[in-house]
Amino acid sequence: MIAPVAGGAMLYDASRCDQPDERVFDRDAWRARGGLEETAGGRGTVAFLRDGEHRWVLRHYRRGGLVARLLDDTYLYTGAARTRSFREFRLLRQLREWQLPVPRPVAARYRRSGPLYRADLVTEELPTRRTLAQSLAAAPLAASTWRAVGACIASLHARGVHHADLNAHNLLIGTDGTVYVLDFDRGRVRARGDWERAVLERLHRSLAKVSAGLPAGHFGERDWTELRAVAEAA
């Protein structure tokens, strides 16, 4: 459902968010009632929200790279449906309907300021916060874990789901071995093609980067071969 807010709009799941209330995006309001836990995560910070049975994650959209120095957290407004937050909310909703291991969207918002806008997204917290990068730093991973990561990627690609920035920090490893995927900003569903190989190459570069300096044996080509063989079998 969509509700108007000052300068923009809020898209929300009425089964998860009882009523359209902008305070769900207000970190100060959550902090005041003791329901905020912040942690570094990607660009800026990710906030973990606590309210009774609710376990949510709030992310404010920020730019990366050199352009961040100029525009920081602002984007050119070209219509509500094309805002970062609304697009990711709707993509996650579709992926959940396909029973893919991604967060369930709760609410999305954009607020305009002239031709620019800022955006936020709230999702349900996944069962784990442990990233693939953190797991790899702690100890070498079993071949079964690498195959599970490959199977997760294969399940996305089988549906034509293009993750725009798949890396070792937005893959999570559950205690039961389940692999989850975060951060579908700029993601989309498209016809299958060569982009799948580019996604894997991006992940390979990320794994090489995070494993540089780790003890020998934490990541090697044998691990990558296990992952890739399953990922490319979709």
Q: Has residue 174 got a pLDDT over 90?
A: yes
Mean pLDDT throughout 167-194?
97
| pLDDT of 63 | 84
Catalytic residue among 26, 51, 165, 185: 165
Q: Domain boundaries in the chain? A: 2-124, 132-231
List % helix, strand, coil for the chain (3-state, nearest 5): 35, 25, 40
| Predicted confidence (pLDDT) per residue in 24-45, tens digit | 999 999 999 899 988 766 556 7
Mean pLDDT throughout 132-144?
96
What global pTM score does this model have? 0.94
| Predicted confidence (pLDDT) per residue in 69-89, tens digit | 567 899 999 999 999 999 999
How far is the C-alpha of 205 from the C-alpha of 178, rounded, in Å?
23
Is residue 201 very low, low, confident or very high in pLDDT (cuts 50, 70, 90)? very high
**Catalytic annotation present for 165:** yes
Among residues 20, 74, 16, 75, which one has the least CA distance to residue 49? 16
120 in Cβ contact with 85 (< 8 Å): yes
Q: Has residue 184 got a pLDDT over 90?
A: yes
Q: Tokens 């912040």, residue?
A: 38
Among residues 124, 139, 130, which one has the least CA distance to residue 58? 124
The torsion angles phi and psi of 229, rounded to 5 degrees, stand at -60, -40
DSSP state of 81: G
Q: Has residue 149 got a pLDDT over 70?
A: yes
As a dihedral over the C-alpha atoms of residue 202, residue 94, residue 21, residue 1, rounded to 10 degrees, the angle is 140
Fold of 132-231: Transferase(Phosphotransferase); domain 1 (1.10.510)
**What percent of the chain clears pLDDT 90, i.e. is strictly above it?**
82
127 in Cβ contact with 159 (< 8 Å): no
80 in Cβ contact with 90 (< 8 Å): no
Residue 150: CB partners within 8 Å, gap ≥ 6? 226, 227, 228, 229, 230, 231, 232, 233
Q: Has residue 68 got a pLDDT over 60?
A: no
Residue 146: CB partners within 8 Å, gap ≥ 6? 223, 224, 226, 227
